[in-house]
Amino acid sequence: MKGGKLMRGQLFTTYDSVLLPSYIRISNVAGELSVQTNELAKLALTIWPDGRPCAIVNYWLTEQALNLTGDSITTYASQLTHLIKFCHNNKKNFHELNDQDIFDFVRQMKTPTILAGKRKRASNNQIRQILKLSLRFLMWFQNSKIYFSDRILIGTAEVNAKITITWKQSSYTRARYIHHMAMPPKNSQIREKSPISNEVITSLENSIPIDPTTSNGYKTEQPIKNYITDYLYERRTFCLWIFKRSGLRPAELTEIPVDENRDHLSSGAILLPTKKTRNSKPILRTFYLSMSEGSRVARYLRARSAFLANLKKHGRVVSGSNVFLLTNNGQQLTRLALTKEFQRLVTRAGHANQKVCMSMFRHRFITKEIQLYLKEFSITQDRYDFSDDVLFQSILKRIATKTGHKSIRSLWSYINLAINDLFIFAEADELIEQNNLYTEGMQLSASLRRTTKVVARRNKSLADEIQTDLNNFEALMKKLFRKA
């Protein structure tokens, strides 16, 4: 079992690679015990606010973990801590809950909290997900051998349960879910799935630090400090690029394998792991790249190899981690560390008070892909058709192969988002294309300027020459595209 660090104020702990006994067999001949085990990729366990293990929830989480991979079990544990806190604060056991408690529970979740000096409030969609899971857990609890009350805890109106529910069907996934009268209405899907803008991406890219970085827990000499700084700059720029280009999940980015991609890049593709499946080992999907994009990936891998070689050269102990992203001491970068680094970059770029997260790159990628397919269809068919479900299904199936979605059902919500943001006036197409070319050219120039800052630490005169050329290039771009 690996992991298991409990953060301050947190009521759950996540463990990696957990072995659990599934059954014990006694040999009829020798009388020896044979223990069969199951290995869980992840297991999350909870406690009450007073530090006692929450055994009932842990029993349910263990049962769920047998059929889950990735971070879903961590999400379940995190969401159920809201119910755990509510019951603890109101001195109630799970079997004592009733309809009024559910209304109070939702009201409590709607109350803003102060975290790190900032006032935060859960969205209706977040509250809905927490309540759905809590009701699902209580339904399991009622049907388990642990529940002994004479009265039905949770059920429909005709059974006179303490918690009255109805069954509804999702308009997107068609899946059934438990509904309660206290459940708040949905937030706008478009607002929840807003893509990240080009302006925000550019500001994030321009905010990547290039100043010297020290290594955790080490006395760092200047030569190796430079190697670390150079690598971290390459890693951060690569992360933003691959997010923008592929729309992959953060957990997938931290598990992209190196060895499997060394030869694969020569064929114009990269192998990306697909999370959110029930496979214990992530399935690799092929994501095709252009020649220049393949070179961009190869550039990062060269920087990674040079970084590891210099760590070893200076006596650092480096593990043989077969993943793209490494920490500044050569270990595998975790998803949590990636998230924290991204949030620091968001703050540095001046977007701390805006909703900017890594998933917005995924929303952007899916939305842009739908728009490209729709525009291509309009060119070949000489019309825009925004009511053809067969067309949409065909488009979403193609996108699902790129994003790793097992089903297109969860992609349907992006259709309206893409159409709302799509410029459908044919006479504006040429102007849009010109603006895209100008934006691409200026983004390339900004990327080269950031790289030049790294060069300046080694060769200032060369960096000055490059800066002059970039000034001339940008002036030419503005003249060519008639930009002020």
Q: Is residue 70 part of a domain?
A: yes
Of 133-147, 176-190, 206-220, which has the strongest mean pLDDT? 133-147
Domain boundary, last residue among 39, 54, 89? 89
CA 434 – CA 432 distance, rounded (Å): 5
331 and 211 in a common domain: yes
Q: Report residue 453's pLDDT band, with 50, 70 and 90 as the boundaries.
A: confident
User: Which pLDDT score is estimated for 122?
Assistant: 85
217 and 78 in a common domain: no
Q: Is residue 189 part of a domain?
A: no
pLDDT surpassing 90 at residue 17? no
228 and 220 in contact (C-beta within 8 Å)?
yes
Q: Is residue 104 part of a domain?
A: no
- Domains identified in the chain, total number: 2
Q: Is residue 108 part of a domain?
A: no
Q: Is residue 230 part of a domain?
A: yes
CATH number at residue 460: 1.10.443
Q: Is residue 76 part of a domain?
A: yes
476 and 327 in a common domain: yes
User: Which pLDDT score is estimated for 216?
Assistant: 47
> Which structural domain, as residue segments, surrounds residue 269?
198-359+431-480
Domain boundary, last residue among 89, 115, 138? 89
What is the CA angle 210-212-215, rounded to 5? 125
Domain boundary, last residue among 89, 119, 142? 89
Q: Report residue 447's pLDDT band, with 50, 70 and 90 as the boundaries.
A: confident
203 and 171 in contact (C-beta within 8 Å)?
no
What separation in angstroms does the CA of 7 have from each of 12, 13, 120? Answer: 8, 8, 19
Q: Report residue 215's pLDDT band, with 50, 70 and 90 as the boundaries.
A: very low
* Tens-digit pLDDT profile for residues 111-150: 887 665 667 788 888 999 999 999 999 999 999 888 888 8
202 and 84 in a common domain: no
User: Which pLDDT score is estimated for 13?
Assistant: 92
Q: Is residue 173 part of a domain?
A: no
Q: Is residue 376 part of a domain?
A: no
The share of the chain scoring above pLDDT 70, in percent, equals: 82
Around Cβ 342, how many Cβ atoms within 10 Å?
A: 20
